A = this chain, B = another copy of it.
């Protein structure tokens, strides 16, 4: 990145007076990100005056700082957009494109999450006296997965909707010391919104995980995680929430500490006794 500028600087470097050299050094260190900085900041960083910075720009052959910045930007831009173009030209097969898509989806959904939000979420799950996992339609598979994990480290984890029962019936047992883990991806029925309202009235905690379709439903929740769910093909992809749930539940186990560990071990043992395929008879 900014290779063009680097060449220019190096070829002039020996001619530069001390002050201008200081700035040149800073420029070289910056590389691609240079365009994000103002000439004033660069001058400060180098410990010289703005005037010196301005003069260096001239000496390097630019008419002004603006021009330099644009060159760096154009040069650096060859990094990503050209790569995208090339990617299209390399004619990846559809599987490779699908993979790229899902990786991007996963990454952009998780990477910006503040550590504090994760911490609060895991504590909310860990400290709850009972947990309710709710998800309709598409989200039900996720709910099932979440319950599967949570039940291994904590007693009293209930899945909704349960076959043969109405949600209202089940939820009548909800208490204010409980936490509801709501999976709200596209295609939730209106019922889902009502449930969140009820949960709020009862003053139980709500942890909402969903996609852009939840819109301002985040007002009903104590903590909200938004994941990308748009798939590469016809169907929505749930890699992001899957990964997030995995991470959160691991975190819950850590918060619960000893208690969870023993519970987990006991679950392993039960599996063995019950007779897993793969374990000795």
A residues with a Cβ closer than 8 A to B are 3-8, 10-11, 13-15, 30-33, 35-37, 69, 72-73, 76-77, 80-81, 93, 95-96, 98-99, 102-103, 106-108, 110-115, 118, 137-138, 140-142, 144-145, 148-149, 152-153, 163, 186-190, 192-193, 212-213, 215-216, 218, 224, 226, 231-239, 242-243, 246-247, 249-251, 253-254, 264, 271, 274-278
Residues of chain B within 8 A (CB-CB) of A238 are: 145, 242, 246
Residues of chain B within 8 A (CB-CB) of A102 are: 106, 239, 243, 246
Residues of chain B within 8 A (CB-CB) of A231 are: 246, 250
Contact B138 A148 (CB under 8 A): yes
Residues of chain B within 8 A (CB-CB) of A113 are: 7, 95
Residues of chain B within 8 A (CB-CB) of A138 are: 148
One complex includes copies of this chain to the number of 2
Contact B99 A106 (CB under 8 A): yes
Contact A149 B235 (CB under 8 A): yes
Q: With the chains together, A192 CA to B274 CA distance in Å?
A: 13
Q: With the chains together, A98 CA to B253 CA distance in Å?
A: 15
Residues of chain B within 8 A (CB-CB) of A216 are: 14-15
Residues of chain B within 8 A (CB-CB) of A251 are: 233
Residues of chain B within 8 A (CB-CB) of A31 are: 81
Contact of A232 among B76, B224, B247 (CB under 8 A): B247
